[in-house]
């Protein structure tokens, strides 16, 4: 379902602009790779929560409080 409204949502283009504003030749898929690595590191730190979710048609959502407990689902 749709993430809680308190989630911080960003499109790939927004993340790309924030992360690589000075770089001309960066693909939006580079963001996917970075998100994958962040998810892996966050899971290693605390695997009870889904910190970053994909939001279809939007991009990604980050829950600073850890989101829902994914093991309970």
The neighbouring-strand residues paired with 10 are 60
Are 6 and 64 within 8 A, CB to CB?
A: no
pLDDT at 39: 92
Tell me the C-alpha distance between 65 and 28, whole Å: 26
Provide the residue-wise pLDDT of the chain in tens; the chain has 73 residues.
555 555 567 887 787 777 766 665 667 677 888 889 999 999 998 888 888 988 888 888 888 776 655 444 4
State the residue for tokens 């850890």.
66
Give the 3-state secondary structure percentages of the chain, helix then strand then coil, rounded to 5: 40, 20, 40
């Amino acid at each position: 379902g749709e993430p809680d409204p308190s989630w911080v949502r960003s499109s790939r283009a927004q993340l790309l602009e924030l992360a690589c504003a000075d770089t001309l030749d960066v693909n939006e898929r580079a963001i996917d790779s970075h998100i994958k690595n962040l998810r892996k590191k966050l899971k290693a730190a605390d695997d009870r929560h889904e910190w970053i979710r994909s939001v279809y048609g939007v991009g990604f959502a980050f829950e600073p409080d850890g989101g829902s407990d994914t093991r309970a689902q």
